[in-house]
Amino acid sequence: MGDIIDGKALAERIFTDVKLEVAKLATAPRLVAVAVGDDKASAAYTKRQAKLAQSCGILYRLDNLPSEAPESALRAHLETLNRDPGVSAVILQTPLPRSFDLVRCRDAIALGKDVEGVTTLAAGRLAMQKAVIAPCTAEAALHCLRAAIPDLRGLEVAVVGRSDIVGKPLALLLIHESATVTVCHRQTRDLAEVLRRADAIIAAAGSAGLVRAEMVKAGAVVVDVGTNAVTAPDGSTKLVGDVDFEAVKERARAITPVPGGVGQVTVAMLMRNAVRLARAAAETCT
């Protein structure tokens, strides 16, 4: 059986570093989350953000716009935060109302305050290896992989998923680490064949059970980004990843569990990014 990559332990180490970095700053970073409406999952996530920010010495505030607020009000609010010198980082919660243009809303966040690296400018900077931070989930997946394989040079990595906030930035981060990357998606002709030749698989598809044991090379490292709520026969729901964990752990050299894997590290990366942006802003001012 392969090693279980412990996301909680990895996150704890990041939190320790974040606290030390916050203590070195003249002013504590202030992270503002902006939400529209009252999505339950988003509310649970902001509650968790608030708790962890506080434990790291990061000031945190949630600005919750009413569900009937128009897109223009959201963008105006983000622009106000951009101008506020007391705010160092902004996170835009999803989902937004269906009628909103997500990219246009994200792009209303100033590059220097874009704590999740979701703006078009941040994506361009990441591609050019000029970014201060990268999208938190992509960073978290990379961190988990490096916990098992510190040197990624030459490694054959298959990424399942090509979304703007996970698959694509992850592929860029891996390329910058000199890995050889194959990005898979729904049009990939033979997913199993691509996965079987990979030294490492990072699954970020949002499809429970997509990666099965026979698709994994013996000794490969498997990082599961997927979070899928599935209903058990007794009606209860549980969170699972994209990987058939029980079977794949018997073949893999190391694997992340869901929950307790990438998700734990993602929120730690959010705090790390908040500190990095605050430090970059302070350096620009001096």
Chain residues in the site for ligand NAP (CB under 6 A): 137, 160-163, 165-167, 184-188, 191, 204-207, 210, 225-228, 262-263, 266
At its nearest, how many Å lie between ligand NAP and the CB of residue 195?
Answer: 10
- CB-based contacts of 281: which residues, under 8 Å, 6+ apart? 88, 112
Q: What's the closest the beta carbon of residue 26 comes to ligand NAP, in angstroms?
A: 31
Of residues 213 and 282, the one with the C-beta less far from ligand NAP: 213
Kindly tell me which of 87 and 273 has the beta carbon lying closer to ligand NAP. Answer: 273
97 or 260, CB closer to ligand NAP?
260
**Cβ closest to ligand NAP, residue 64 vs residue 163:** 163
**Cβ 123 to ligand NAP shortest distance, Å:** 14
**Shortest approach of ligand NAP to residue 117 CB, angstroms?**
13
To the nearest whole angstrom, how small is the minimum distance from the Cβ of residue 187 to ligand NAP?
6
**Residue 131 host element (H or E):** none
CB of 264 to ligand NAP, least distance (A): 8
Give the residue from 36, 102, 35, 103 showing the smallest Cα distance to 68.
Answer: 36
Q: Which is nearer to ligand NAP, 87 or 267 (CB)?
A: 267
> Which one, 78 or 140, has the nearer CB to ligand NAP?
140
Residue 51 CB, nearest approach to ligand NAP (Å): 16
Strand partners, 32: 61, 90
CA angle, residues 122, 227, 164, in degrees to nearest 5: 20
Size of the chain in residues = 286
* H helical segments located in 167-259: 167-176, 191-196, 245-248
Residue 144 · residue 5 · CB < 8 Å:
yes
| 107 closest CA partner among 137, 74, 70 | 74
Written as six digits, the tokens of 246 are 């029980």
Q: Which is nearer to ligand NAP, 171 or 220 (CB)?
A: 171
Helices within the chain (DSSP H only): 7-24, 40-56, 71-83, 102-106, 120-127, 136-148, 167-176, 191-196, 245-248, 262-285
